Amino acid sequence: MKKYLSIFAMVLLLIGVLAACAPDREESGGSNDDSGGGDSEESGDQPESLSVWVNDSEEQKAVLDTLFEKYTEETGIEIEVTPMNMLDQVEALNLDGPAGNGPDLFFQPHDRIGNIVLQGLASPIDLGEAEGTYSETAIEAVTYDGEIYGAPLVVETYGTFYNKDLVEEAPATMDELMAIAEEQTDAASDQYGFLMEAANFYFSYPFFGANGAYVFNNEGGSYDVEDIGLNNEGAVAGGELIQSWYENGYIPVEINPDIMNGLFTDGKVGVAITGPWNIPAYEEALGDSLGTAILPTVDGNNATSFVGVKSWMVSDYSENKEAATDLALFLTNEENSTAYFEGAGELPANQAALEGEAVTSNELIAPFAEQIQYGTPMPSTPEMQQVWDPINNALSFIAQGDDVQEVLDEAVQQIKDNIATAQQ
Amino acid sequence: MSTANPAAKKNHNPKLAVILSILLAGLGQLYNRRYVKGTLFIILEVSFILTLGQFINYGIWGIMTLGTLAGTDHSVFLLIYGLVALVLIAFAITLYIANVKDAKRDAIRLRDGEKVPTFKEALRNVWDTGFPYFFVTPGLIMLVFIVVLPLMFTIALAFTDYTQYNQPPRNLLSWIGFENFGRLFFGTGAGDSNIWQETFISVFTWTVVWTVVATTLQIALGLFLALLVNDPRIKFKRLIRTILILPWAVPAFVTILVFAAMFNDRFGAINTDVLAMFDLAIPWLQDPFWTRIALIMIQTWLGFPFVFALFTGILQSISKDWYEAADVDGASRMQKFRNITLPHVLYATAPLLIMQYAGNFNNFNIIYLFNEGGPPVRGQNAGGTDILISWVFDLTFELNQYSMAAAITLILGLIVTGFAFFQFRRTRSFKEEGNL
């Protein structure tokens, strides 16, 4: 009896609650509907302040703080700065944006743009006349589905480092590099002519790309994820080239960044391929003996290194999209991105700044700026996330001597499977 | 005795009290002439509906639909609102049932003519008997929100289609029932590849092997060393014990990273210095089999000091009389170990040992820090040494398969709950044994 009664009570209560289940959502359509741009907002009116999320690196924040001060002086708009790790920003924006606590402007590497757009967190940005002032590669990088989603601030790629005590001149072609490797490699005494993380696709892509391989076919600013070019002839040629390094004993299978950096700073490596972030450590160890150059050409083609671009993006939840865009343009103009380069050491995406005195006068950095023009932006489509694991695994198998065509076919099939599974 | 009571009110109907209090909390109490209590209940119910009714209404709608307008409704928020609403409803139902029961009890008392305490007396009664509950309640309510709610959230996610391509706020989630589990266990679902099922089975089997072998080895080694060191013929016990406990003193992640460097096939000390003496070079990081062996050895090294310390303590507490009696009976060394030492030691430590198994089952640190779950295996989605927890990490942070990760987490949770339940039972049996 008691049991029935309590069940009855529960049911009664539930019915009482559920009966009126039509939610009142009259305030719908908030900030999210005007994704076409900030036209609906009064364009003449200036907001009192803009909120910006910056990467939580102290060097970067220090430079940006001075730039923000300058902007406030010029326009009277206060900038509220929140330092937050770049990689945590998307997750935070996903929750803070709809709740109304999000920033107007945030800072992201371009290869996450696809994912950000999938979540509906960013607005396309109208760069206006400024569009031509950025490097072409940078604009290509921040374009997703034909729309530009960021004002590029930083470009980044890798290049050749060499030890002038061991190698007089940087190798300009693959043949020269192989000659150095042949001549100087003596694995028994840990002496190497040429080292790189060849089993990491990020670094080994140039040798695929130079022969005509591609990750996803890109036409008119959007990627065709059905069309994967990682097992075509060029890719196999690249894979075989990489395999030959292992077979000839130039590069040990067990190489990892720590070991490579250790050997290079010990002066035991002639040439290494890695990124400019290693310059401070290498320079400290080798001093004036350190030289940098663009990547060697492969069969006469320039090596197509992956280019990463970091850009300012406008939150879709921002109520001041126009002002936010204006700030993004201000931060990435020639003068300010040069200032940012000088403070934070990251290459500017602004073409004039990239070719400017500050960059070209820096011998170690200048080759990376040159390499940018031969590079390809990493695909920003979300499917790229399904590429890394299978292709890196394939490179491990190639390093161990498995058949290149077979391994690459398998990898491409796995990428396709993963994409299909992810899309379900 | 009640029938003879002159104060009895035969026509007072408990059923009516119950029905009234179901219709509106407090009405039954009013009927019972408990005016203050009844009014309090009515105020409570009305204010509950007025303040939280809207929220609960919204929450229930949210958890049922997970939103209807993409871009405006944020499914994750709605899911959380809905779960909070469910918790609130659970609180309300508990109170409501208490109200109905109270009305019924009072009505029966009134009919039978028992002395019904006045409001003041009742208050004092509650104060005397319910004092501990009164103070525990806020903590319990907090616990529900900070412990139970996140758990409910994870469980709920396992039944949604939260993936990289279907993320709020742009898209809405929807309930897909057991589809994720179907894909894992039976390989059903869209797509012609069985990648989920194949990977799940291979990862799961290795997880089990890893848990059983690594933990058993660390316990066996700990026990063996504890027995050795406890032998009366051993000198310098304190020094030996200190040395044996040292691996425990170094933070595990440091040890693991050092080992990862030492096991490097070409540059690591193990191949270049130790095995080179025997003309051996084992592919510790390239071959899944050897990576597994290395992992098990490292975990044994990391885990035995705790077991050793534990057993050493227990061994001291076994009475010498037992062994003397055994000696008198002419028992062999082995017999003494099997019939006296082992039962004592295991009985006392079983709960902790079970938790060792549970700990290794979810030992993310060692797998991830040593080789990030590698080396890769051809034709498989996870690395050769990925255990379930490191695979979940990959799925969430590299592949953004949130709902699948939640489904596997749920399975993991159930398994570890099994361990914990088992441990709890052992603990209780131990306690009861002590009471005898």
CB contact under 8 A, B77 and A98: yes
At B95, list the tokens.
């109170």
Give the pLDDT of residue A38: 40
At A356, list the tokens.
């400017």
Cβ partners under 8 Å of residue A222, min gap 6:
A144, A145, A146
Give the pLDDT of residue A408: 94
**Minimum CA–CA partner of B187 in chain A:** A421
CA B90 to chain A, closest CA, distance in angstroms equals: 10
Residue A205's nearest CA partner among A384, A365, A348, A370 is A384
CB-based burial label for A423 (10 Å; 0-12, 13-18, 19+)? middle
CB contact under 8 A, B56 and A17: yes
Give the pLDDT of residue B223: 93
CA distance A139 to A221: 10
**Minimum CA–CA partner of A414 in chain B:** B379
Q: How far is CA A236 from CA A319, A340, A404, B379, in A?
A: 50, 41, 6, 19
Residue B199's nearest CA partner among B378, B402, B413, B372 is B378
Query: Measured between beta carbons, which residues in chain A are less than 8 angstroms from residue B195?
Result: 417-418, 421
Residue A292's nearest CA partner among A202, A195, A365 is A365
| Alpha-carbon dihedral angle through residues A326, A332, A337, A339, given to the nearest 10 degrees | 10
CB contact under 8 A, B379 and A414: yes
Pairing of strands A214-219, A222-229: antiparallel
CB contact under 8 A, B60 and A121: no
CA distance B274 to B268: 10
Which of A85, A149, A254 has the most B C-beta neighbours within 10 Å, making it the best mutation to test the interface with B?
A: A254
CB contact under 8 A, A98 and B57: no
Residue A306's nearest CA partner among A298, A297, A295, A293 is A295
Query: Measured between beta carbons, which residues in chain B are less than 8 angstroms from residue A421?
Result: 191, 193, 195-196
Q: Which of B60, B286, B399 sits opposite A17 (nearest CB)?
A: B60
CA distance B312 to B151: 38
| Alpha-carbon dihedral angle through residues A42, A45, A48, A50, given to the nearest 10 degrees | 50
Q: B90-129 as b/e, with b when 16 or more CB fall inside 10 Å?
A: eebeeebbebbbbbbebbebbbbbeeeeeeeeeeeeeeee
CB contact under 8 A, B399 and A418: yes
pLDDT tens digits, one per residue of A166-206: 999 999 999 999 999 999 999 888 899 999 999 999 999 99
Query: Measured between beta carbons, which residues in chain A are less than 8 angstroms from residue B163?
Result: 422, 424
Question: Are A309 and A112 in contact, with CB atoms under 8 Å apart?
Answer: no
pLDDT tens digits, one per residue of B23-82: 888 888 888 888 888 888 889 888 888 888 888 888 888 888 888 887 778 888 889 999
CA B4 to chain A, closest CA, distance in angstroms equals: 27
At A290, list the tokens.
């350190």
Give the pLDDT of residue A273: 95
Report the Cα–Cα distance between both ends of chain B, in Å, rounded.
42
Beta bridge partners of B73: B70
Query: Measured between beta carbons, which residues in chain B are less than 8 angstroms from residue A259?
Result: 264, 267
CB contact under 8 A, B57 and A389: no
Query: Measured between beta carbons, which residues in chain A are less than 8 angstroms from residue B69?
Result: 25, 28
Length of chain B: 436
Compute how many other C-beta atoms are within 10 angstroms of the C-beta atom of residue A176.
16
Query: Measured between beta carbons, which residues in chain A are less than 8 angstroms from residue B73?
Result: 25
Question: Are A387 and A415 in contact, with CB atoms under 8 Å apart?
Answer: yes
Q: Which of B72, B196, B285 sits opposite A29 (nearest CB)?
A: B72
Give the pLDDT of residue B344: 87
SS3 content of chain B, % helix, strand, coil (to 5): 75, 0, 25
**Minimum CA–CA partner of A97 in chain B:** B169
CA distance B121 to A173: 97
CA distance A400 to A175: 23
**Minimum CA–CA partner of B268 in chain A:** A254
Q: Which of A23, A29, A385 sits opposite B400 (nearest CB)?
A: A385
DSSP H helical ranges for A125-226: 136-142, 174-184, 201-209
Sign, CA dihedral B190-B191-B196-B202, equals positive
Query: Measured between beta carbons, which residues in chain A are less than 8 angstroms from residue B167?
Result: 94, 118-119
Cis, peptide link before residue B169, omega less than 30° from 0? yes
Which of A10, A11, A13 has the most B C-beta neighbours within 10 Å, making it the best mutation to test the interface with B?
A: A13
Compute how many other C-beta atoms are within 10 angstroms of the C-beta atom of residue B432.
9
Going by the DSSP 8-state scheme, the letter that residue B386 receives in this structure is: -
Beta bridge partners of A196: A273
At A177, list the tokens.
């590099």
CA B339 to chain A, closest CA, distance in angstroms equals: 51
CA A179 to chain B, closest CA, distance in angstroms equals: 24
Compute how many other C-beta atoms are within 10 angstroms of the C-beta atom of residue A151.
29
Give the pLDDT of residue A40: 42
CB contact under 8 A, A28 and B193: no
Pairing of strands A306-315, A376-377: parallel
Question: Are A388 and A201 in contact, with CB atoms under 8 Å apart?
Answer: yes
Query: Measured between beta carbons, which residues in chain A are less than 8 angstroms from residue B76?
Result: 94-95
CA A386 to chain B, closest CA, distance in angstroms equals: 7
CB-based burial label for A99 (10 Å; 0-12, 13-18, 19+)? exposed
Query: Measured between beta carbons, which residues in chain B are less than 8 angstroms from residue A407?
Result: 378
Residue B23's nearest CA partner among A5, A12, A18 is A12
CB contact under 8 A, B161 and A118: no
Which of B164, B291, B380 has the most A C-beta neighbours within 10 Å, making it the best mutation to test the interface with A?
A: B164
CB contact under 8 A, A119 and B60: no
**Minimum CA–CA partner of A395 in chain B:** B376
CA A198 to chain B, closest CA, distance in angstroms equals: 15
CB contact under 8 A, A32 and B72: yes
CA A110 to chain B, closest CA, distance in angstroms equals: 16
Place of tokens 């290794």: B360
Q: How many CB pairs (< 8 A) connect A and B?
A: 145
Q: B51-84 as b/e, with b when 16 or more CB fall inside 10 Å?
A: ebeeebbbbbbbbebbbeeebbbbbbbbbbbbbb
At B130, list the tokens.
């319910």
Which of A5, A400, A416 has the most B C-beta neighbours within 10 Å, making it the best mutation to test the interface with B?
A: A5
CB contact under 8 A, A254 and B266: yes
- Amino acid A383 reads E
Residue A64's nearest CA partner among A336, A298, A360, A329 is A336
Report the Cα–Cα distance between both ends of chain A, in Å, rounded.
49
Taking only the tens of pLDDT, chain A with its 424 residues reads 555 555 655 655 555 555 445 555 544 444 444 444 444 444 456 888 999 999 998 989 999 999 999 999 999 999 999 999 998 998 899 888 888 888 999 999 999 999 899 888 999 999 988 899 999 889 999 998 889 999 999 999 999 999 999 999 999 999 999 999 999 999 888 899 999 999 999 999 999 998 889 999 988 778 898 999 999 999 999 999 999 999 999 999 888 898 999 999 999 999 999 999 999 999 999 999 999 999 999 988 899 999 999 999 999 999 999 999 999 999 999 999 999 999 998 999 999 999 999 999 999 999 999 999 899 999 988 888 889 989 999 999 999 889 999 999 999 988 888 888 777 6
At A49, list the tokens.
């302040």
CB contact under 8 A, B400 and A14: no
CB-based burial label for A358 (10 Å; 0-12, 13-18, 19+)? middle
Q: Which residues of chain B have pLDDT under 70?
A: 1-8, 189-193, 379, 426-436
Give the pLDDT of residue A30: 42
Sign, CA dihedral B316-B317-B321-B323, equals negative
CB contact under 8 A, A421 and B56: no
